[in-house]
Chain A
Amino acid sequence: MKKTLPPTIKVDRAFGDVVEGEALVSTEGFSPRYDLDRWSGLISRPGHALEGHNIKDKVLITPSAKGGIAAGWAFFDIKHKGIAPKAFVFGVTNPVMVQGAVFAGITITEGWSASPYKHIRTGDLVRVDPKRKTIQVVKKS
Chain B
Amino acid sequence: MLRGEMGPAAKEALALQIEVGRFFGAKRFVPVSNVHMMGDIEVMGDAGKRFLERMARLGARCARPTTTNARCIDFDYVAQLGQDPNEASKEKQLIGYLRKMDVVTADTCINYQTLYQPHRGEHVAWGDTGTVIYANSVYGARSNFEAGPVALAAGITGRVPEYGFHLDEHRRGTILVNLKADLKDLADWGAVGKIVGSARQDYFAVPVFNGVKQTPTADELKHLGASLASYGSMGMFHMVGVTPEAPTLKTAFGGGKPSAAVTVTNRDIERVYASYDRGGKPLKLVVFSGPQQSLLEMKRLADLLHGRRIKPGSHLFVTTSNGVKSAANQLGYLETIEAAGAIVLEGVCFYILQDIAQIRVRHGWVNLVTNSAKLANIIGAHKFKTMLRRTAACIDIAVTGEDRI
Check B43 against A73 for contact (C-beta < 8 Å).
yes
Complex Cα distance, B25 from A65, in Å, reads 19
Check A33 against B378 for contact (C-beta < 8 Å).
yes
Closest Cβ–Cβ distance, residue A120 to chain B (whole Å): 20
Check A100 against B129 for contact (C-beta < 8 Å).
no
Which one of B44, B147, B204, B383 contacts A99 once the chains associate, using CB atoms below 8 Å?
B147
A17 within 8 A of B: no
Check A36 against B16 for contact (C-beta < 8 Å).
no
A140 within 8 A of B: no
B402 within 8 A of A: no
User: Using a CB-CB cutoff of 8 Å, which residues 361-389 of chain B contact chain A?
Assistant: 377-378, 380-381, 383, 385
B190 within 8 A of A: no
**Across-interface contacts of A72 in B (CB, < 8 A):** 38, 127, 146-151
Which one of B16, B22, B233 contacts A65 once the chains associate, using CB atoms below 8 Å?
B233
Check A80 against B46 for contact (C-beta < 8 Å).
yes
A96 within 8 A of B: yes
**Across-interface contacts of A34 in B (CB, < 8 A):** 377-378, 380-381
Kindly name the residue among A34, A37, A64, A73 whose own CB sees the greatest number of chain B CB atoms within 10 A. A73
Check A95 against B48 for contact (C-beta < 8 Å).
no
Question: Which residue of chain A has the shortest Cβ distance to B385 in the bound complex?
Answer: A46
Kindly name the residue among A13, A79, A99, A102 whose own CB sees the greatest number of chain B CB atoms within 10 A. A99
A residues engaging B (CB < 8 A)? 13-15, 29, 33-38, 44-46, 63-74, 76-77, 79-81, 92-96, 98-100, 102-103, 108, 110
Closest 7 CB pairs of A and B: A72-B147, A80-B47, A77-B45, A94-B203, A73-B44, A64-B201, A45-B380
B residues engaging A (CB < 8 A)? 16, 19-20, 22-25, 38-39, 43-48, 51, 69, 127-129, 144-151, 163-164, 201-204, 229-230, 233, 235, 351, 377-378, 380-381, 383, 385
